[in-house]
Structures are given as C-alpha cells and as structure tokens.
C-alpha cells in the first residue's frame, strides 16, 4: 500500500512538474524476475524510475540512507535494501538474487553514485555478479533531465521535461555460463553501452 501511494505521488509530481514522458514500458516483462538498470544523475531517479515502471522495483540503496531517521524506515517499507558501497557486500548481492529468483524486479544504478556532466560512469562489479548468478534478463533504462527536475542540492523539483526510456533486454545469455572478473566486467560494459545508446537516441 505504501509503495502504491509513493508511486502515485511520484507519478503526479513527475507528470505535473517534470512533464514526464515514458517510452518502452512494454519492454519490462509482465512477470518473472528481471533487473532494470539505469543511469544515475539525480536524487529524483529512484522515484521517477519507479513511477515509470509497470511493475514495483526493489532498489539496492546505500546503507547510509537507512540510517537517516524517517527516511530509512520509508525506503525499507517500500522494498529497498541496503548495500555497503565500494565493497563486495555479499548480503546485498544475495538479497538481490533472492528477489530475482522469486520473480520480482530489482532496480539498480550500476554506476553506484550520481554522475554529473552528461557522461556515464564505470559500472561497479556488483551488477555483473548478480546477473551471472541469477541469469535474469536486464532491461536498460535511460533517465533524461531528472537532474533538471531535481538539481543537485535542491529540495524542491523544478519545471522540466523528464523522459524515461526502457530499452529491449540486453544480450547477455552468452555470458551466463562464464565466471571470473572478465565476465563480470563484460556484463557491466554491455549494460552501460545499452543505457548510453538509449540516452543518445532520446535526448
């Protein structure tokens, strides 16, 4: 119930203030475990991506957010789970895989942090490790102008033109039976390349 209420508020704000348009929502399977991976340019990205998605998303969020009074409980209640950034957080990886194996949707920002300036950052290894373990399909997503909708260091959204684009599944099945650092890195590279193509084609 709380997730639905939060999604409704996010949808209203993104549509009324961000004038959001959504493309490719049909690329998200109606059922079964799937990862939705997007670029990260604003604090508004999680609620905007969640509002645009046809299914609920379970986000992997940095553990510091769960330590903030009120906010920590809210994001926990809507299905987010903590991760220790810049480490091989096995508990977080296991949780993501469990959600995927239960047929749910995991939302991730492979860069692990907000990246400004219009460039994509390097993917962290966690996304590749999850994909190779769960063998779940990955839907790339481009978030465009969310940094104008909620600029850095601002608390209130501004009028803008937000666009969310969901692409077709990233081809990764040839990597599912591989292991090791090279396979993990290749997964990340393909996902970020797919996100980059969506951004360039929909600016």
Measured from the Cβ of residue 133, the count of other Cβ atoms closer than 10 Å reads: 16
Comparing CA positions, the residue from 107, 104, 60 lying closest to residue 85 is 60
Q: What is the CATH number of domain 2-202?
A: 3.40.1130.10
What distance in Å separates the CA atoms of residue 22 and residue 171, rounded to the nearest whole number?
Answer: 22
Phi then psi for residue 28, to 5 deg, are: -80, 120
Enumerate the domain spans of the chain. 2-202
One-character DSSP codes across 65-117? HHTSTTHHHHHHHTT-EEE-TTS--HHHHHHHHHHHHTT-EEEE-TTSS---S
Digit-by-digit pLDDT tens for the chain (203 residues) are: 778 888 999 999 999 999 999 999 999 999 999 999 999 999 999 999 999 999 999 998 888 888 888 888 888 878 888 888 766 788 999 999 999 999 999 999 999 899 988 889 999 999 999 999 999 999 999 999 999 999 998 989 999 999 999 999 999 999 998 889 999 999 999 999 999 999 999 98
What distance in Å separates the CA atoms of residue 76 and residue 21, rounded to the nearest whole number?
Answer: 28
């Amino acid at each position: 119930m709380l997730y639905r209420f939060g999604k409704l508020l996010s949808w209203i704000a993104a549509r009324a203030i961000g004038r959001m348009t959504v493309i490719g929502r049909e690329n998200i399977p109606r059922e079964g475990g799937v990862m939705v991976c997007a670029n990260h340019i604003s604090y508004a990205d999680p609620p905007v991506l969640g509002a645009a998605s046809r299914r609920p998303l379970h986000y992997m969020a940095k553990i510091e957010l769960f330590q903030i009074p009120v906010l920590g409980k809210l994001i926990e209640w809507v299905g987010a789970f903590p991760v220790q950034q810049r480490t091989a957080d096995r508990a977080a990886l296991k949780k993501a895989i469990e959600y995927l194996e239960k047929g749910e949707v995991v939302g991730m920002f492979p860069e692990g942090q907000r990246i400004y300036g219009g460039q994509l950052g390097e993917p962290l290894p966690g996304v590749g490790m999850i994909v190779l373990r769960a063998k779940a399909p990955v839907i790339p997503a481009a978030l465009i102008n969310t940094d104008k909708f909620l600029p850095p260091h601002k608390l209130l959204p501004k009028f803008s033109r937000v666009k969310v684009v969901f692409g077709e599944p990233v081809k990764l099945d040839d990597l599912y039976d591989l292991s090791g650092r090279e396979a993990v890195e290749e997964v990340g590279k393909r996902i970020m390349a797919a996100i980059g193509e969506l951004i360039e084609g929909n600016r």
